[in-house]
Amino acid sequence: MPVYAEEFTSRDLTILIADLRGFSSISEAYPIEAVLEILKPYFARMTEIIVRNVGAVDKFMGDSVMALFDERHIKNSARHAVTCAVEMQLAMDDLNRNSKQSGLPDLHMGIGINTGRVMAGLVGSGQYSEYVVIGGEVNLASRIEAFSLRGQVLISQSTFECCEDFALTDKPIDVHVKGMVNPVSLREVVAIPSLGWEVPRREIRRSIRVKTEISFLYQMVKDKIVGSEPYQGIILDIGYYGVKAKLGRQVESYSEVRMEIDLSIVGCRATDIYGRILRTQASDGRVLASIEFTSISATSQALIQRFVQLLVQGCEGG
């Protein structure tokens, strides 16, 4: 059967890609029936929100979804995409409440959005065809999503310029993206004031944090491949969702690491933790890094929470 490609056209649109953080560890820890019980309401709710915000689901890819916002005025497409993303993050709270009632783990989602020109058209054969969008702007949207932390909405500079008077964002973050010579400027969406919506993840950052001095091992992760060489660092303070650590080598902001933390106070080690390095600064010939967890098993999460709580009680009792 011959394969055909309808003539591709160039068009401006906004691409949204959302992905569940740490879902592979959930898939390994729970039977397939429980995994499906989690995914079905998730995809149904996300699809409903995308359509309501004048978007179209382009494809589902494992535990991620890609949506397109294609309107005559490019500013409208960006605003609808950002509105959609914030509503999706707000909806995760409802989904997680229902999951807890069923004894299932919480889900956390990262979202990346980019606005730009793509090539769009129909490809396939007489038996099957699919509308596809291709180009550097699609690839960039995927890279932005990869940088997003759980509960976070990150947007490109082009998307920001379309909705800077609509969405409230943090200061720009410059990151190095594979395949691009110059750094790319990203912004985290904080709120949409006109709707009275705030992205709920910002409350997570205010979790209990305690000072400590414990060793941990880490490996650099690049293109989802864990490096073979382990490095040692010292954690200076720790919370439920991240740490501040002293590293013995230079690392780039927004690079990813796999961690193993010594929790001798609770008699074990928390392993297979993935984190994103948010900020770095030089200190006495070493590097101070703020690391937020992006993927952590329920077991390791419980161990870290217990560890933090024990330290807090120790501090209060001293």
Sign of CA dihedral 225, 227, 228, 233: negative
Q: Which residues contact 258 (CB under 8 A, 6 or more apart)?
A: 218, 219, 221, 226, 272, 273, 274
3-class DSSP assignment, residue 98: helix
- Comparing CA positions, the residue from 113, 60, 63 lying closest to residue 83 is 113
State the CB neighbour count (10 A cutoff) for residue 182: 8
Query: For the chain, what is the mean pLDDT?
Result: 86
* Lowest mean pLDDT, pick from 25-29, 54-58, 152-156: 25-29
Query: Is-contact 192 82, C-beta < 8 A?
Result: yes
pTM more than 0.75: no
302-315 mean pLDDT: 76
Q: Indicate whether 316 pLDDT > 50.
A: no
> CATH 3.30.70.1230 spans which residues of the chain?
4-203
Candidate CATH numbers 2.40.10.220, 3.40.50.720, 3.40.50.300, 3.40.50.970; the one for domain 207-317: 2.40.10.220
| Protein fold of 4-203 | Alpha-Beta Plaits (3.30.70)
Domain with CATH 2.40.10.220 in the chain: 207-317
Quick check: 188 and 159 in contact, CB under 8 A? no
Task: Of 297, 195, 281, give the one whose Cα is nearest residue 236.
Answer: 281
Kindly report, residue by residue over 68-94, the tens digit of the pLDDT.
Answer: 998 888 899 999 999 999 999 999 988
SS3 for 148? coil
